[in-house]
Amino acid sequence: MHFQTDYKLENYILNARWEELPAEVQERMKGCFVDLMGALVIGSRSRQFEVGLRLAESLFGKGDIPVIGSDKRFGFAGAATAMGHSSNAYDIDDGHNMTRAHPGTSFVGAVLAAAYEKNVSRNEFLATMLVAYEATIRMGAALMDYYQYAHSSGTFGAVGVAAGVGRLYGFTKEQINNALSVAEFNAPLVPGIRSVEYPSMNKDGVPFGVMTGVLAVLNTLCGFEGNKHMLEADEYRHYLDDLGDYHQVMALYFKPYPCCRWAHPAIDACVGLMREHHLSASNIERVTIHTFKRATLLSKIVPQTADEAQYNIAYPVAASLVYGDFGLMQVREENLNDPMVLNMMKRLSFVVDEDLDARFPAERICRAEIVTKDGRHFMSDECEPRGEAKENIRLPWLCDKFRRITGPVLTEAGQERLLALITGEDDLPIRTIVDEANNEAFWK
């Protein structure tokens, strides 16, 4: 491979300015912050976050930086590590089809910790998040091609951490280049398909990508030398051709449910049929989901852990048929043995539709077929997952999602306070937002 260093990405990372961004990009970045704050809030009620707190304490000790959803404080590395364990715990974060991964969750914990440490404003934090998104997504596309198999979010997020934290730490373009090189070279090559077939906390590899990115930054400060990163290779430099002109954040999708995206159209198709025809879960004889092959490969076991419930298709569909929704309460481990949901799982079957499979991955579509105990038969229209990039998701959609998913955790007053701070006109210190997010009065 031949590499050229012209610092195009590094200059963009250092020089992007909030006030120069198009209004639609500014709104999108506020929306991303709303969405990721929701992921951090509910993720703080996961066993994975408890692991992250213990790891941060044992490795890094106490400091002055808080983490969302806890009264513990750490230094930068500890806070980034702890929130790196919560941001993706319930698989509710944004995604990008080009990399088939979740960019925001893979760096938000580290960038938020660094922003708090450096006491930057909300808008500077949002501009930093933007450059982290752009670096992550574009590097992700290059790495997917170079390694020729489906990685997952932690692989690319190490680069986003290096980009965002390097900017906040006041790195030179040479230091940014070095941190990107170290992060990309040492990024965990997370085997995404295995995480689908064998669910566990390994999942998208986000905690390890965050820690690799953190170490890339800290090693750069200590004099560790990398050399070249993939977006400097002649084969992949084209991924930077429209950098600064087209913003990849506008191609993000957003997830209404805390489970694998491939299960979302089945949930919506079933819930839509139930509501349209006023069906009762107790009157369902059987349900057949006609979908693309990858979706049918998702786990169908009775889950024993939150991760097994998320990377599953039978459990989320059954829970949505019973409760008309799939949210935090359905994925919490203490609720996984619900007899109504387990009974519904036995009534489900999943079949590959060759036409729908031929349209994957550009489109992820299913149809639901419900037969009732009294002999009625219903077939849904083709259903795509909600929140796709082509819908041009706006702030009201994301704020409504935030209210729905954080309802079991935050009071209404807490929800509205956070939404006002994140989306309002005032450019407050990021410390104000984080401290308010941890206000005990706002948590149930």
Helices 23-43 & 108-118, crossing angle to 10 degrees?
Answer: 100
Q: How confident is the model at residue 392 (pLDDT cuts 50, 70, 90)?
A: very high
Percent of the chain predicted with pLDDT > 70: 100
Residue type, 378: F
* Rounded Cα–Cα distance for residues 254 and 105 (Å): 12
For 142-146, 194-198, 291-295, 307-311, which range has the lowest pLDDT when averaged over its residues? 194-198
* Rounded Cα–Cα distance for residues 356 and 325 (Å): 24
**Domain annotation for the chain: domains and CATH numbers:** 8-255+420-437 (1.10.4100.10), 261-379 (3.30.1330.120)
Burial of 377 (0-12, 13-18, 19+ CB in 10 A): exposed
Confidence (pLDDT) at 41: 98
Q: How confident is the model at residue 189 (pLDDT cuts 50, 70, 90)?
A: very high
* Rounded Cα–Cα distance for residues 439 and 192 (Å): 36
Burial of 17 (0-12, 13-18, 19+ CB in 10 A): exposed
| DSSP structural state of residue 103 | T
Say what the pTM is: 0.95
The angle at the Cα of 402, spanning 331 to 126, to the nearest 5 degrees, equals 120
Cα–Cα distances (Å) from 333 to 34, 46, 71, 105, 444, in that order, read 25, 9, 23, 22, 18
The angle at the Cα of 263, spanning 374 to 194, to the nearest 5 degrees, equals 135
* Rounded Cα–Cα distance for residues 389 and 387 (Å): 7
Query: Region 85-95: what's the mean pLDDT?
Result: 96
Confidence (pLDDT) at 361: 79
CB-based contact 104:94 (threshold 8 Å): yes
| DSSP structural state of residue 372 | E
Cα–Cα distances (Å) from 357 to 291, 352, 417, in that order, read 7, 7, 44
